[in-house]
Amino acid sequence: MNDINSFLSRLNSTINFSTILPEIILIVGLITIVITDLVNKGKNAIFLYKIFLVSTLVSMGILFYQLISVIAFEDLYTNNIFNNLFRFFILICSFISVLLSVDYVLCSKISLAEFPLFKISAGLGGMILSCATDLITIYVSLEFLALSSCFLSGYTKRDIRSNEASMKFLLMSGASSSSLLYGFSLLYGFSDGQVQLDNIIDKILFSQYLPTICISAAFILAGTAFKLSLFPFHQWTPDVYEGSPTPVVAFFSVTSKVAALSLFTRLFRLIFPYLSNEWHIVVELLAISSMILGNLIAVTQRSFKRMLAYSSISQIGYVMIGILAADLENGYASMLTYTFIYIFMNLGTFARITLFSLRTGTDNIRDYAGLYMKDPVLTFSLVLCLLSLGGIPPLSGFFGKLYLFWHGWKAGLYISVTVALVTSVISIYYYLKIIKLMLTKTTNPVDTLKTYEKQKSLVSSVISTKLKSSVEMAMILCALASTLSGLFMDPIIKITRNTFF
Amino acid sequence: MLLFDVSPGMALVSAVTVIRAKNPVHSVLFFIPVPRNTSGLLPLSGLDFFAMIFLVVHIGAIAVSLSFVVMMPDTKIEEIHENILRYFPVGGIIGLIFRWTNLETLGNLLYTNYSVPFLVSSLISLVAMIGAIVLTIHKSTKVKRQDVF
């Protein structure tokens, strides 16, 4: 009894459980989903989705409460605003992406019950990654996120492209983890056995092994660049995005990028601040090449998902400018606001693609021709999201980019901002190409019109009206956020401002 | 003493045989001495608990699953790409992390200071189990199942 008492008191002194309460709620949700599915024996699977949504919402509520009263404590978790904001982003991503995936999973007759399970576990991995300040926790949560995403991308087993996508994702995450681990092991060695990031920086600050620490920085950069799909490490992105089922692509185009962003920023800010000249140059190079490559190749794509993959590569290039431009008075405000807006733009676009592919079954851009005649609501909302991605005022994408490039210019990154501006113009071309295709009537295939109508009736007979609106709810949410966030930029910027550490 | 003199050599020879054997069954059989000899070296550096865990994990789990892999498909090909030598640096790194030899000390630290990675690893195992089943289950009517409930 004495042992247990001393153990519990030691446990309480090292971990404050109220700080990880959002994650605990997600874990409880995960277990509830597994048990409910077992008890119900596969019937009434929609209930599982409701459990997921409820637990995510409760987590978000608790996170809000914690954002207001910042609790800071030591060791594995730090609770500053930066980390909390990233947790909040990941919760939003999970919530909206599950909203838009319900119909898809029902229609394609894949196994229904494990889908929210994997989404919860991936969201959980992302959330723990955003808060981890410990090499082991970082690695374990990164693996958790990668494993769940791998299962998600291979979810439609009978589709061969899905198998290919999950194989490539597995290889990519293996390469990324091994590279990261090598960098971490070098850091561990040089800091004389310290695992926590704060202690590592104390120890290696005045060491004489500077060239080897640069090698460690290079490996860590390679590992995180894989996840972020920056330039030479972006090869997996188009194939994985094209092959995986669309709601899954929506999920990990935002979640894994947001989680990787928080990891990247934290590692490079905490451990290598005195190397900042070196890695600034390298990251600038990577960002410029990602922007150029992403935008140029996206021009020639014929599949919508592939085009969005390349466009997300270029968006991450823009966000890298925000990371480089961080300074004392503004923190990472530009990067965080742009990430927030990017989440909604991207999820909105994917919601509409999901709806469209449910109704017609194709992913080709050519088949979007004349959509205005068949479904004006879908067309209009897709127009909004695409214009926001391109950066047209008064939508929020414009404000996000404006803030980002302004900060970049002030920080002296003249080349990057110029390249970013030029490639933004190129990106407007391929977004507008789709909009023009949708809005103009074509004398093209009447059979797409026919299949459109047929699928629509098929879909609405399968799903009840309550669920049919969940995708549309996601669509509307994202459309609203895409347009109004630009007008409400000021409070967002105020919150994201003091995030420099 | 003879044990610790012979072990590294035998580990290396078995590892080379794993890669070069023409018959895949030979490869799997020669895979077994490799962790056995490697874990024989570990008590030398004072890691007694780790030596036992090494045996259980590598031989009990990995060698068994390797033999399943060899059994199932129609392997007439001569190559299994299993690079055993990569275990040595990984083992070295993990050996560096586990500097405590006593199981009690290990448990103390694992459950308090490092409890979050520990819990997350358990979640990883859960998700990996469920995911493996999701990806490979094949519901056909010809399969006979046990009606438990």
CA–CA distance, A496 with B92 (Å, rounded to integer):
43
CA–CA distance, B106 with B89 (Å, rounded to integer):
22
CA–CA distance, A31 with B126 (Å, rounded to integer):
10
**Distance of residue B30 Cα from the nearest chain A Cα, in angstroms:** 26
Of A113-122, A474-483, B32-41, B52-61, the least confident: A474-483
- Note whether A118 contacts B127, CB cutoff 8 Å: yes
CA–CA distance, A123 with A145 (Å, rounded to integer):
7
- Note whether B111 contacts A7, CB cutoff 8 Å: yes
**Distance of residue B59 Cα from the nearest chain A Cα, in angstroms:** 23
Give the pLDDT of residue B100: 46
Nearest to A283 by CA among A328, A238, A318: A318
**Mutation target vs B (from A147, A152, A173, A177; most B CBs, 10 A cutoff):** A147
Give the pLDDT mean for B28-42.
Answer: 80
Give the pLDDT of residue A481: 73
- Note whether A140 contacts B115, CB cutoff 8 Å: no
Give the pLDDT of residue A257: 93
Instruction: State the DSSP string of B77-124.
Output: SS-----GGGHHHHHHHHHHH-----HHHHHHHHHTTTHHHHHHHHHH
Q: What are phi and psi of A196, to 5 degrees?
A: -85, 145
- The residue type found at A248 is V
**Distance of residue A141 Cα from the nearest chain B Cα, in angstroms:** 7
Question: Beta partners for A134?
Answer: A196
The CB-side HSE value for A331 (13 A sphere, CA atoms) comes to 16
**Distance of residue B87 Cα from the nearest chain A Cα, in angstroms:** 13
Minimal Cβ distance to B116: which of A125, A137, A157: A137
- Note whether A76 contacts B127, CB cutoff 8 Å: no
Ranges of residues in chain A whose predicted pLDDT is under 70? 1-18, 42-45, 67-79, 109-111, 206-208, 274-275, 327-331, 441-473, 496, 498-501
Q: Is B30:B21 a contact under the CB 8 Å cutoff?
A: yes
Q: Is A128:A136 a contact under the CB 8 Å cutoff?
A: no
Asked if B71 reaches chain A (Cβ–Cβ under 8 Å), the answer is: no
Minimal Cβ distance to B130: which of A114, A140, A150: A114
CA–CA distance, A183 with B130 (Å, rounded to integer):
31
Query: B99 to chain A: which residues are within 8 Å by CB?
Result: 193
CA–CA distance, A183 with B105 (Å, rounded to integer):
27
Q: Is A470:A302 a contact under the CB 8 Å cutoff?
A: no
Token pair recorded at residue A134:
């410990």
In angstroms, the Cα distances linking A363 to A243, A276, A372 are: 11, 43, 17
Chain A contact residues (CB < 8 Å to B): 7, 10-11, 14-15, 20, 27, 30, 34, 41, 75-77, 111, 114, 117-118, 121, 124-125, 128, 132, 134, 136-137, 140-141, 143-144, 147-148, 150-151, 154-155, 157, 166, 181, 185, 188-189, 193
Give the pLDDT of residue A450: 46
Q: Is the pLDDT of residue B23 over 80?
A: no
Task: For residue A423, give every residue at least 6 positions away whose Cβ sits within 8 Å of its Cβ, in sequence order, or none.
Answer: A291, A292, A294, A295, A296, A314, A317
Query: B112 to chain A: which residues are within 8 Å by CB?
Result: 7, 10-11, 14-15
Q: Is A463:A373 a contact under the CB 8 Å cutoff?
A: no
- Note whether B131 contacts A136, CB cutoff 8 Å: no
Give pTM, 2 decimals: 0.81
Give the pLDDT of residue B142: 59
Minimal Cβ distance to B127: which of A121, A132, A154: A121
Q: Is the pLDDT of residue B99 over 50?
A: no
**Distance of residue B2 Cα from the nearest chain A Cα, in angstroms:** 32
**Distance of residue A253 Cα from the nearest chain B Cα, in angstroms:** 20
- Note whether A157 contacts B135, CB cutoff 8 Å: yes
In angstroms, the Cα distances linking B95 to A65, A216, A312, B100 are: 42, 20, 40, 10
Give the pLDDT of residue A75: 45
Give the pLDDT of residue A132: 83
- The residue type found at A353 is I
**Cα–Cα–Cα angle for A28, A26, A342, nearest 5°?**
170
Give the pLDDT of residue A498: 63
Nearest to A349 by CA among A394, A300, A382: A382
Please confirm whether the linkage preceding A394 is cis (ω < 30° from 0): yes
Query: B135 to chain A: which residues are within 8 Å by CB?
Result: 151, 154, 157, 166
Token pair recorded at residue B111:
């459950």
Query: In this predicted complex, what is the ipTM?
Result: 0.80
Query: B131 to chain A: which residues are within 8 Å by CB?
Result: 114, 118, 147-148, 150-151
Give the pLDDT of residue A240: 93
Give the pLDDT of residue A73: 45
Q: Is A48:A33 a contact under the CB 8 Å cutoff?
A: yes
Give the pLDDT of residue A5: 66
- Note whether A15 contacts B116, CB cutoff 8 Å: yes
Give the pLDDT of residue B89: 55
CA–CA distance, A484 with A143 (Å, rounded to integer):
36
Nearest to A335 by CA among A343, A326, A327, A344: A326
**Cα–Cα–Cα angle for A379, A385, A390, nearest 5°?**
120
H/E element, A377:
helix A376-390
Asked if B96 reaches chain A (Cβ–Cβ under 8 Å), the answer is: yes
**Cα–Cα–Cα angle for A334, A242, A235, nearest 5°?**
65
CA–CA distance, A82 with A457 (Å, rounded to integer):
46
Give the pLDDT of residue B107: 74
CA–CA distance, A486 with A396 (Å, rounded to integer):
4
pLDDT band at residue B85 under the 50/70/90 scheme = very low
- The residue type found at A304 is F
- Note whether B134 contacts A124, CB cutoff 8 Å: no
Query: B113 to chain A: which residues are within 8 Å by CB?
Result: 14, 75-76
pLDDT tens column, A94-112 = 888 888 887 787 777 666 7
Minimal Cβ distance to A144: which of B97, B115, B123: B123
Q: Is A471:A100 a contact under the CB 8 Å cutoff?
A: yes
Nearest CA in chain B to A117: B127
Token pair recorded at residue A454:
């047929």
Residue numbers of B between 105 and 124 with CB closer than 8 Å to A:
111-117, 120-121, 123-124
| CA quadruple A426, A361, A381, A366: dihedral sign | positive
In angstroms, the Cα distances linking B56 to A381, A496, B49 are: 57, 49, 11
Give the pLDDT of residue A141: 92
Task: For residue B116, give every residue at least 6 positions away whose Cβ sits within 8 Å of its Cβ, in sequence order, or none.
Answer: A15, A20, A76, A77, A128, A132, A134, A137
Task: For residue A110, give every residue at least 6 positions away whose Cβ sits within 8 Å of its Cβ, in sequence order, or none.
Answer: A155, A156, A157, A245
Give the pLDDT mean for B118-138.
Answer: 86
CA–CA distance, A477 with A347 (Å, rounded to integer):
10
Give the pLDDT of residue B83: 42
Query: A157 to chain B: which residues are within 8 Å by CB?
Result: 135
**Cα–Cα–Cα angle for A364, A292, A162, nearest 5°?**
35
Q: How many CB atoms lie within 10 A of CB A4?
A: 8
pLDDT tens column, A229-250 = 998 899 999 999 998 988 899 9
Minimal Cβ distance to A121: which of B112, B121, B123: B123
Of A470-479, B99-108, B109-118, the least confident: B99-108
- Note whether A157 contacts B117, CB cutoff 8 Å: no
Nearest to B80 by CA among B10, B22, B14: B22
Token pair recorded at residue A438:
């949708």
The CB-side HSE value for A419 (13 A sphere, CA atoms) comes to 23
Q: What is the dihedral of CA A317, A245, A148, A127, to 10 degrees?
A: 50
Q: What are phi and psi of A496, to 5 degrees?
A: -85, 5
Give the pLDDT of residue B11: 79
Q: Is A170:A199 a contact under the CB 8 Å cutoff?
A: no
